[in-house]
Amino acid sequence: MDIEPIASLPKALGMPFHALDLLEMAFTHASYVHDHKAQHATKQLIDNERLEFLGDAVLGLVISRYLYLIEPPLSEGEMTKWRAAIVCEASLADFARTLGFHRYLKLGRGEEQSGGRLRPSILADTFEAFIGALYLDQGLPGVEDFMMRHIIPRIERGERQRTVDHKSALQEWAQREEGRPVEYAIISEDGPAHARSFVAQVSVAGEVMGQGYGRSKKEAEQRAAEEALQKLGLLSGDFARD
C-alpha cells in the first residue's frame, strides 16, 4: 500500500506537531532502517525503538493518573487491573489501527510482505513510540490532550470491557476456586502465512469452558477466556468492579 506522508498526520489527528523529525522516527521500524542504510549514507536513519521505550513509561504515567482521578475512587487492585488492560498489546494495537497509524509506517520489505503493517506487536510499539515523540515535542500536557481527544473517550464509552485482560481475570478466579488449573490450546489455524487466523480453547480443571477466534494466538486465547467468563457469570457491565 502507499504510505501516507508523515506531515499529514497532525492534521488527521487535529493537533499540531512541531518536530516532524521525531514524528518520522516514531513511524520508522527497525526493518526499514536495515533495508535502507545504503540509500541514506549521508543521512542517519533512526528506528523507533528508543521512542517506544520512552512512550511506554509516559503512557503508564498518564493512564495511572487518569485512573487515580476516577470517581468514585478505584482501589489499588482495580487501578492495576485496568492499567494493565488499557496498555496491553491488543489494546494499543487497536488504538493505533483505529487512528490509521498503519498507513504511515515505514517497514522493510520483509515485514511489509509478511503482513507487518497490521501486526499487533508492531502497531502497539508504534503507538508507544508516537507517545514518546509527542512527549518530547509537547510534554505531558500534549500527551494528556491527545489521550483525552482520541483514547479516553473510547474507554469511557464502554470499550474498557473490550480491553480487559480476560486471561488474567479467569486465572484469578480459578486460583480463588481452590487453584483450579487453566489450560489453553490452539485447536485450529488457517490462512496464508501473512494473514493467519487461530481458534483457541480454554479448559478449567479439565473442562472445556470457552473457544475464541483471533488473528493472533494471544487474541484467540483472550476471546476464549472471555467466553469462559461469560459462562461463569463473571462478566457484568462495562468497567465492572470486583
Q: Does the residue 179 lie in any domain?
A: yes
> What CATH number is attached to the domain comprising 193?
3.30.160.20
Q: How many domains does the chain have?
A: 2
- Domain of residue 84 covers 6-163
Q: Both 91 and 184 in a single domain?
A: no
Judgement on whether residues 156 and 190 belong to the same structural domain of the protein: no
**Quick one: 111 and 212 in the same domain?**
no
Same domain, 133 and 226: no
**Predicted local distance difference test score (pLDDT) of residue 200:** 92
Determine, yes or no, domain membership for 158. Answer: yes
CA 10/CA 24 separation, integer angstroms: 12
Residues of the chain whose pLDDT is less than 70?
1, 38-43, 158-164, 194-195, 235-242
pLDDT for the residue numbered 168: 84
Residue 241 resides in a domain: no
Cis peptide before 72 (omega within 30 of 0): yes
Last residue of a domain, which of 112, 130, 163?
163
> Last residue of a domain, which of 145, 163, 181?
163
Report whether 90 contacts 107 (CB < 8 A): no
Are 178 and 184 in contact, with CB atoms under 8 Å apart?
Answer: no
44 and 146, same domain (yes or no) = yes
- In the block, which residue shows the cell 488449573? 181
Identify whether residues 98 and 209 lie together within a single domain: no
Domain membership flag for residue 237? no
Cα separation of 20 and 34, whole Å?
21
Q: Could you tell me if 98 and 186 lie in one domain?
A: no
pLDDT value for 237: 38
pTM of model > 0.85: no
Residue 128 known to bind ligand: yes
Are 67 and 48 in a shared domain? yes
Task: Tell the burial category of 239 from Cβ atoms under 10 Å away from its Cβ (0-12, 13-18, 19+).
Answer: middle
pLDDT digit string (tens) for 169-216?
888 888 887 788 999 999 988 877 766 778 899 999 999 999 988 878
What is the SS3 string spanning 149-207? HHCHHHHHHHHHHHHCCHHHHHHHHHHHCCCCCEEEEEEEEECCHHHCEEEEEEEECCE
Instruction: Check residue 156 and give its pLDDT.
Output: 79
The catalytic site residues sit at 56, 128
Do 152 and 222 lie in one domain? The reply is no
Residue 236 lies in a domain: no
Asked if residue 195 and residue 143 are part of one domain, the reply reads no
Residue 52 among known ligand-binding residues: yes
Q: Is residue 1 part of a domain?
A: no
Q: Are residues 113 and 175 in the same domain?
A: no
C-alpha cell at 152: 479516553
Same domain, 30 and 80: yes
Residue 238 domain-assigned (yes or no): no
How far apart, in whole angstroms, are the C-alpha atoms of residue 161 and residue 155?
8
Residue 28 confidence (pLDDT): 96
Please report whether residue 121 resides in a domain: yes
Centre a 10 Å sphere on the Cβ of residue 134 and count the other Cβ atoms it contains. Answer: 26
- Percent of the chain exceeding pLDDT 90 equals 48
The total number of residues shown for the chain amounts to 242
Q: Is 125 annotated as a binding residue?
A: yes
